[in-house]
Amino acid sequence: MNTEPGWYPDPYHRHQVRYWDGSSWTEHVGDDGQQGTDPVGALDKFDSAMVVDEANDTAKIRDQVTGEGWGGAGIGGTPGGGGTLFTEPVLVVNQKAKIIELANQYGVFDRDGNQIGAVNQVGQSTLKKALRLLTSVDQFLTHKMEITDRSGSVVLRLTRPAKIFKSSVVVENANGTELGRVVQKNMIGKINFELESGGQRLGAIKAENWRAWNFRIEDATGTEVARITKTWEGLAKTMFTTADNYVVQIHRRLPQPLLSLVVASALSVDTALKQDDRGLG
């Protein structure tokens, strides 16, 4: 992981930020501006020994962006966007690879491999983790996620209410004010979601094949404004872990709340919108 020493979102999701010393995560953590310590070894009993790869390789991330075919998104040179989740034109979303996944965790990077955010599932009780491990009922329960920036501050909150057939995701800002919803429109054929806010249709997310590997995101006029491309995580991870990796390309600056809905849906496309493909709920 060729990342400079500094404070980054806690990969274990026990604190807002944790200090990376350039080669490994340390015990130094922070919450609401207050520093403390929390030994890395003291993992949650359900998550210990299940994390395969906590680091993300900068070269691999660049290959995900520029590579052609199944392995990459084939995106050429694009200017940087200031290093934030809402300004970068290319976002790389890589899931933390685990043998058994009991809480979804993703790192979000710019095209050069710099971590600029994270996506973490929150509110997972011990009972809920046990249900996830032992049964498939988890996919029908309510799920909550937080999208944090590079400092660990929450920028978006996502809630996927309990469902029977079709999914929907409520998108809120950090203060809990609803910005809009991502609503599944069909169950047969290529999956299709609509982006809604205040009763108005702002756009849509459309899978480009029945397996829903890649998605086209449109505005209300049907113009493509962003694209989500699944990239190959490697044979070993594909066979033995639950890792999923995506590259998101946002073609132009978008107005709010469409921008927040696009970012939210792009960063949660696997965990909130496409869970049933692997039974992740």
State whether 20 and 140 are in the same domain.
no
More confident residue, 219 or 103: 219
pLDDT for 277 equals: 44
| Residue 123 placed within a domain | yes
State whether 107 and 29 are in the same domain.
no
Which residues, in sequence order, are bridge partners of residue 18?
8, 29
Beta strand 200-207 pairing with 192-197: antiparallel
State whether 211 and 233 are in the same domain.
yes
pLDDT in tens, 48-57: 333 334 345 6
| Residue 219 placed within a domain | yes
CB atoms within 10 A of CB 176: 8
State whether 30 and 98 are in the same domain.
no
pLDDT for 268 equals: 79
pLDDT in tens, 105-121: 788 999 888 889 988 88
| Residue 267 placed within a domain | yes
* Residue 84 near residue 93 (C-beta atoms within 8 A): no
More confident residue, 210 or 75: 75
| Residue 220 placed within a domain | yes
Rounded Cα distance between 243 and 262, Å, is: 22
State whether 70 and 97 are in the same domain.
yes
* Residue 145 near residue 93 (C-beta atoms within 8 A): no
Q: Is the pLDDT of residue 278 over 50?
A: no
* Amino acid at residue number 192: N
State whether 153 and 112 are in the same domain.
yes
Mean pLDDT of the chain: 76
Q: What confidence category does residue 241 fall into, taking pLDDT thresholds of 50, 70 and 90? A: very low
Rounded Cα distance between 196 and 128, Å, is: 30
| Residue 221 placed within a domain | yes
| Residue 48 placed within a domain | no
State whether 167 and 37 are in the same domain.
no
More confident residue, 22 or 206: 206
State whether 34 and 106 are in the same domain.
no
State whether 168 and 242 are in the same domain.
yes
Alpha-carbon distance values, 23 to 10, 19, 98, 237 (Å): 15, 11, 20, 22
pLDDT for 158 equals: 93
State whether 2 and 81 are in the same domain.
no
State whether 94 and 32 are in the same domain.
no
Q: Is the pLDDT of residue 195 over 60?
A: yes
pLDDT for 76 equals: 78
The residue segments making up the domain with residue 19 are 1-42
Q: What confidence category does residue 2 fall into, taking pLDDT thresholds of 50, 70 and 90? A: low
Count how many domains the chain has.
Answer: 2
| Residue 31 placed within a domain | yes
State whether 179 and 245 are in the same domain.
yes
pLDDT in tens, 125-184: 555 545 444 444 455 567 888 999 988 889 999 998 876 667 889 999 999 999 999 998
- For the chain, counts of helices (H) and of strands (E): 4, 18
Average pLDDT, stretch 230-246? 52
| CATH at 267 | 3.20.90
Q: Is the pLDDT of residue 47 over 50?
A: no
Q: What is the DSSP string of 54-114?
A: ----HHHHHHHHH--GGG-----------SSTTT-SEEEEEEPEESS-SS-EEEEE-TTS-
| Residue 47 placed within a domain | no
